[in-house]
Amino acid sequence: MEAAKNVEEYLDAVPEPARSTLLKMRAMIRAAAGPEATETISYGMPSFRYKGALVSYAAFTNHCSFFPMNSSLIEQFGEELAGYSTLKGTIHFPLDKPLPAPLVKKMVRARMAENELKKTK
C-alpha cells in the first residue's frame, strides 16, 4: 500500500470491516479531543495532535491498533484493557469491533492533560 497523504486517503484504502471500525474510533477520538485537536498522518497512520502528539490508530492484517503515545497509560488503564492484547505502546482490538467509547474518551482526555502539563512547564 502506498503511503497515504491524508486521513481520508488512508481510511479509503482500508478494507471492511476494519474501515468501519476505524471510522468509529476516529469519531470517538474527535468527540473526546474536541475542535482544538487536528488530524494528520504520522508514521503512516491517522493521528490526532493537541499541543503535541495525542493518539494514533491504524489497521493491520489481523487487528486494529490504538496508540496512546504513552506506555504508562496502558498500565494506568490495565484493568479496563484486560480483554485486549497490549504491547508497550499499543492496544490491539478486533477488526470488526472498536474499543469501548468510555475507555477511548478517558485515554484521550488523559493524553490531553499530559500534553497541557508539558506545555505549561
Enumerate the domain spans of the chain. Answer: 7-120
Q: What is the pLDDT of residue 2?
A: 67
8 Å CB contact between 104 and 66: yes
Question: pTM score, two decimals?
Answer: 0.93
Domain covering 7-120 assigned CATH 3.90.1150.200 in the classification: yes
8 Å CB contact between 45 and 10: yes
Q: What is the pLDDT of residue 113?
A: 95
pLDDT in tens, 20-73: 999 999 999 999 999 999 999 999 999 999 999 999 999 999 999 999 999 899
Amino acid letter for position 47 = S
Amino acid letter for position 103 = L
pLDDT exceeds cutoff 90 at 120: no
8 Å CB contact between 95 and 21: yes
pLDDT exceeds cutoff 60 at 1: no
| Backbone CA torsion sign across 75, 77, 78, 81 | negative
